Amino acid sequence: MDATLSTFANPPTEFSVLPFWFWNDALDADEIRRQIADFEAHGVHGFIIHPRVGLPRSLGWMSEALLAFYDVAIEEAARRGMQALLYDEGMYPSGSSAGQVVAENPAFQTRCLAARSLAEGEEPALQADETLVAVVRRQGGERMAVIDRKMDAYIRGLHYIDGGPEEDEPLAGDLLNPEAVACFIRLVYDKFFERFGGHFGGLIPAIFTDEPSPVGKPRERGVWPGTTGILAHVNRLLGYDFTPHLAALWHDDEPEAERYRADYERAIALRMEETWYAQLYDWCTEHGIALTGHPAKADDLGAERYFHMPGQDIVWRWVLPDDPTALEGPQSTQGKCGSSAMIHTGRRRNANELCGAFGHELTWEEMNWLADWCFVRGTNMLFPHAFYYSVRGIRLDERPPDVGPNSAWWERYKSYADRCRRLSWLNTDSRHVCSIAVLGKVDWLPWQPAKVLFQQQRDFNYVEERHLWEDAAVDEDGIELAGMRYAAVIAAHEPDERARPAMRRLEEAGRLLHYGPGTSATALLTFVDRLAAADVSVEPGAAALRVRRVRKGGRDWWILFNEESAPLAGSVTLRAEGPFLLVDPWTGESRSWENGAQVTLGRYQLKVVCTDGGDVRSSPKI
């Protein structure tokens, strides 16, 4: 076995799964060390310290008592050569430091835009700490006032109230206010650096920020994200005065209400980049540590550029085997969202937090399927949700299941962890072989054309349209971006004005397809086939087969995944010259394989094929 195959069989431990480790009960130093040893014995070589509801009140967020247990875990991880990641909040969503931001300055509480009807000639009556954004008229002539005010919003807390199940609900911070975010960074990130900075970038490779939201967890409805002075930023970011369209936020019968709501949401996403993501990214860059985690939405591609390790999360059974959710809806885009961002921003890793709140009914088979759903889409780091420090009492049912030490499959978990480590290694430091791009927006990715491409084994990446005017080269041959060349480009939305010149060039070159509700799968595939030769041919056709091709270590590698339960069998022909090897991701063992030979993929099975060493050359035909 040569060096590349040997490394595939036993990759470095940096590619280990890194589970959320819920610290959710009274902590003990010896028990922390015992659990870490148990992790290592089962193929888990790192973890994310995640303080969680169920901690005693004596272990408050960022308290000396709690951080002393961090010292224990980090020292034990160092002794064993493991990784320890930090989580930036006392529960979630991130941005409040368990209510400490608002406690320090009540003006940093989450704010919103609310609407009030006004009679003709009536002046808006403002309460304390409210400001008037604008008085506007609806299309029928009615007057309404748009008010900026505090919002009733919270984050989940670390402590049960009187034994539970009710929890503390600290006030959420105003993430659209850069001063509030700076306060959060000082309370959490600066304190982490002061205590653990000597380990940053090594033993502690990253800090995890979790689904930051400008509205936290809201208790009220009928309001929109906002902050004092937000309208000026919305106007700046959209490039036009949004004031005349404010009524559309509340009233469906306003002209083009859906369009203006989407515009407002996009402006809020862009402002979040400025106030939240850029500040955290800059701090982490300056302090030699990676920012990881994930944005609030599955298709928030724009925010991913501010992560050193872009991420997403499959939770709440949003993506399921043998279910339309695997290919349809915004959640189906998240795998490609993270991996595409990694490629186009020049990052090395991209992650997925998976299995959270899938319930006690989660099975071993389903857990493996979720990992493979991610791997074939380019994920190369997994954050299993979660390993529980304690399952005492009601803790067992807090966003279950425990997928680690308290699971039915713990004794065979090492086989899962080792397989995930191999596939994470394969998807890292490798070149994705792909020539199809699907355009998306800052906060929206189209799943409809992606579904067709997936079902026909035509791999692709999402390209955020900002790249078209920022850093991509666009010519008669397509898009060149971050070392990738996209010969076929698909657009399913009305582009930003700044993207139009690049899209005109693509259209004139015959390399752009405008995909809409009336576009057939045949039309899409005809367009793609004309410009980008297929990497894989399958006879008979197999709509359940997913394929990813990468180049690494002087070889081409294909990940073949049967995404559905019905077994697949057919001849598979690869667009490359052999000889070939079939590699088992469960064991790392390999054997010869003939191009065009019959391949059988059982229920939810994943296999890997690679060229057998030497220079890789594309063959002229399939």
525-555 pLDDT per residue, tens: 999 999 998 989 899 889 999 999 999 999 9
Q: Which of 370-374, 476-480, 614-618 has the lowest mean pLDDT?
A: 614-618
| In a shared domain, residues 560 and 511 | no
Residue 616 pLDDT > 50: no
pLDDT digits (tens, 9 = 90+) for 131-164: 999 999 998 889 999 999 999 999 999 999 998 8
The reported pLDDT for the residue numbered 1 is 64
pLDDT digits (tens, 9 = 90+) for 321-331: 999 999 999 99
- The SS3 assignment for 413 reads helix
- Examine residue 420 and state whether it is found in any structural domain, yes or no: yes
| In a shared domain, residues 227 and 307 | no
- Examine residue 282 and state whether it is found in any structural domain, yes or no: no
Confidence of residue 596 (pLDDT cuts 50, 70, 90): confident
| In a shared domain, residues 67 and 133 | no
- Examine residue 277 and state whether it is found in any structural domain, yes or no: no
Residue 332 pLDDT > 70: yes
The reported pLDDT for the residue numbered 617 is 40
| Residue where a domain stops, chosen among 511, 531, 551 | 531
Tokens 């906060």 locate to 443
| In a shared domain, residues 101 and 175 | yes
| In a shared domain, residues 391 and 447 | no
- Examine residue 520 and state whether it is found in any structural domain, yes or no: yes
| In a shared domain, residues 520 and 400 | no
User: What DSSP string runs through 84-100?
Assistant: EEEE-SSSSSSSSTTTH
| In a shared domain, residues 341 and 403 | yes
* Cα atoms found within 13 Å of the Cα of residue 19, Cβ hemisphere only: 28
| Residue where a domain stops, chosen among 377, 397, 428 | 428
pLDDT digits (tens, 9 = 90+) for 403-453: 999 999 999 999 999 999 999 999 999 999 999 999 999 999 999 999 999
| In a shared domain, residues 438 and 325 | no
Domain count, the chain: 4
**CATH code assigned at 556:** 2.60.40.1180
| In a shared domain, residues 189 and 144 | yes
Segments forming the whole domain that contains residue 484: 434-531
For 403-412, the CB contacts below 8 A with 24+ separation are: 403/19, 403/355, 403/362, 403/367, 404/19, 404/39, 404/42, 404/44, 405/35, 405/38, 405/39, 405/42, 408/364, 409/364, 409/367, 410/42, 412/364
| In a shared domain, residues 185 and 301 | no
- Examine residue 397 and state whether it is found in any structural domain, yes or no: yes
| In a shared domain, residues 67 and 22 | yes
Confidence of residue 614 (pLDDT cuts 50, 70, 90): very low
pLDDT digits (tens, 9 = 90+) for 254-263: 999 999 999 9
| In a shared domain, residues 197 and 337 | no
- Examine residue 212 and state whether it is found in any structural domain, yes or no: no
Query: What's the predicted TM-score (pTM) here?
Result: 0.94
**CATH code assigned at 456:** 3.40.50
| Residue where a domain stops, chosen among 531, 560, 580 | 531
Residue 574 pLDDT > 80: yes
Mean pLDDT of all residues in 589-617: 84
The reported pLDDT for the residue numbered 597 is 86
pLDDT averaged over every residue in the chain: 95
- Examine residue 620 and state whether it is found in any structural domain, yes or no: no
- Examine residue 373 and state whether it is found in any structural domain, yes or no: yes
